[in-house]
């Protein structure tokens, strides 16, 4: 039988005790640095329960009551009676709840209301009125809606895309609107409506 006790184990010069001692020092240094950074950068206050906040929506400051879990869509529809954005898919995959936040399209159904404080929020209602936006009139002219649930989201997505690409081609428009879904299948008319606006019609 082999005598295991007779074998000598080579010494590496670095023991487990040394490793643990070094790890503890590194952890302490990291904690100290984090504490210093936290002291320099004041963390955002933690909010629990219902609280009042002010949101800038369509150019007007609106006071609403929200909880940390409250979505922007809930605020718009159930507190401010702005029902243009639709709750078609709560994960935002349909694009039906699209609104503009600081000019960028976002899904209101999965955007927390607390995260858009201090930002400019624009809903589809802002594009109507006595002098409707060209995107709205073009959707009407090209019959680019059926059931209407996807329409507000598409209108906002088209407006945001054409703001950034005012002379977009049909291919660019198709690619730019791939985040919105129309279950009625009016894509052809929607694309033509967007093209007409891009061409200045």
* pLDDT tens-place string over residues 49-80: 889 999 999 999 999 999 999 999 999 999 99
126 lies in a domain? yes
| pLDDT of amino acid 175 | 93
16 lies in a domain? no
83 lies in a domain? yes
Please give the C-alpha separations between residue 6 and each of 1, 9, 11, 182, in angstroms, as whole numbers.
Answer: 12, 10, 15, 79
| N-terminal to C-terminal alpha carbon distance within the chain | 95
21 lies in a domain? no
CATH number for position 148: 3.10.20.30
| pLDDT of amino acid 39 | 47
Please spell the DSSP secondary structure of 96-118, one letter per residue.
TTEEEETTEEEEGGGSBGGGGTT
**Those residues with Cβ within 8 angstroms of residue 119's Cβ, 6 or more apart along the chain or in another chain:** 56, 101, 102
Residue whose pair of structure tokens reads 């594009």 in the numeric block: 127
| pLDDT of amino acid 36 | 45
**Those residues with Cβ within 8 angstroms of residue 86's Cβ, 6 or more apart along the chain or in another chain:** 96, 97, 149, 150, 152, 153
What's the burial of 167, exposed, middle or buried (CB within 10 Å: 0-12/13-18/19+)?
A: exposed
Domain range for residue 158?
51-198
| pLDDT of amino acid 37 | 47
CA atoms of 139 and 82, how far apart (whole Å):
20
* pLDDT tens-place string over residues 142-163: 999 888 889 999 999 999 999 9
Number of domains within the chain: 1
32 lies in a domain? no
| pLDDT of amino acid 122 | 98
**Pairing status of strand 104-107 against strand 98-101:** antiparallel
H-type alpha helices, 43-150: 72-78, 134-141
Please list the ranges in the chain whose pLDDT falls under 50: 6, 36-37, 39-40
CA atoms of 28 and 19, how far apart (whole Å):
14
């Amino acid at each position: 039988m082999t005598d295991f006790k007779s074998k000598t184990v080579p010494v590496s010069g670095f023991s487990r005790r040394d490793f643990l001692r070094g790890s503890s020092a590194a952890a302490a240094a990291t904690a100290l640095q984090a504490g210093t950074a936290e002291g320099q950068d004041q963390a955002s206050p933690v909010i629990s329960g219902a609280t009042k906040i002010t949101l800038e929506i369509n150019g007007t400051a609106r006071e609403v009551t929200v909880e940390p879990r409250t979505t922007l869509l809930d605020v718009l529809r159930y507190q401010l009676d702005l029902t243009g954005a639709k709750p078609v898919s709560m994960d935002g995959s349909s694009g039906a709840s699209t609104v503009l936040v600081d000019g960028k399209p976002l899904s209101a159904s999965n955007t927390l209301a607390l995260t858009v404080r201090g930002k400019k929020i624009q809903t589809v209602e802002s594009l109507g009125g006595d002098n409707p936006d060209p995107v709205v009139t073009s959707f009407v002219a090209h019959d680019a809606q059926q059931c209407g649930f996807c329409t507000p989201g598409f209108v906002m997505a088209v407006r945001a895309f054409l703001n950034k690409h005012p002379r977009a081609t049909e291919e660019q428009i198709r690619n730019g609107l791939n985040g919105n879904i129309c279950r009625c299948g009016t894509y052809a008319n929607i694309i033509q409506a967007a093209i007409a606006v891009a061409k200045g019609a």
